Amino acid sequence: MDSKILRINMSELKINEEEVSKDYLLLNGRELTTKIMSDEIPENCNPLKEKNKVVIAPSILNNTNSSCSGRLSIGAKSPLTLTIKEYNSEAVCSHKLIKLAIKAIIIEGLSEENKFYKVIIKNESIVLELAEEYEGIGSYNLIDLIKSEYGNEIVLISIGVEAENKMIAAGISINDVDSHFHRYAAGGGLGAVLAAKGVKALIIDNNNSDKAELHNKAKSNLSVKKFD
């Protein structure tokens, strides 16, 4: 299954699936988010306006038994420092994106003011819907609500009330294997940037997706053993 880049344009409310260019083919995680930000975000743009972008990418060797491989990178121009800010941490979300053959997600543009949307990413479809019912709900209550709608296996990337109000220290929440928000893109005000785009939540469900297979499992296991 070929990897793809999801480009979510909040000005046009459109989602496009793009082929991975040669420039990005060998990049993953932090290296990929940084390269995309460098290529696409103007240096002098306002972090809370249309030309800034939020870039999300899983790390290399995800969904393998390699140590420290299940990491997620989220980046944007920071409203706090006015420079590139990149968050990187262990996250179940990273494994699920790999299983869906998603190399990166780019969120760009701006939705209508004071309108928030949810992005529902499944193997069979990727849709963008209004999320009025989630507005004003904090992260911990939001995960319970969304799990009741979409099932216990989903992974959620979302913002809380502070981010909705574009407080420039607000972060982005990512749930762990127990569905608790123990992972945060906490520094740099990335939550305010996602809120400015009009995205309240990305709901990721890899049920019915093909299992990612190693090309040579024996060699992979040998390499992991040697590395560890």
Among 72, 65, 40, CA closest to 155: 72
Distance of CA 16 to the CA centre of its chain: 15
Q: Is 32 helix (H, G, I), strand (E, B) or coil?
A: helix
pLDDT at 182: 65
pLDDT at 152: 87
pLDDT at 66: 66
- How many whole angstroms separate alpha carbon 163 and alpha carbon 193? 8
Domain range spanning residue 142?
A: 4-227
Buried b / exposed e across 4-43, counting CB within 10 Å, b at 16+? bbbbbbbeebebeeeebeeebeebbbbbbbbbbbeeebee
pLDDT at 131: 96
Query: Using the 8-state DSSP alphabet, how is residue 180 labeled?
Result: -
- From the first residue on, what is the mean pLDDT of each consecutive set of 10 residues in the chain (228 residues)? 92 97 94 97 96 94 66 95 90 86 97 92 95 94 92 92 95 78 83 98 82 69 68
Tokens describing residue 5:
């880049």
- How many whole angstroms separate alpha carbon 64 and alpha carbon 43? 36
Supply the pTM of this predicted model.
0.91
- How many whole angstroms separate alpha carbon 211 and alpha carbon 204? 16
pLDDT at 208: 65
Task: Please state the domain count of the chain.
Answer: 1
pLDDT at 90: 74
The CATH number for 181's domain is: 3.60.9.10
pLDDT at 225: 72
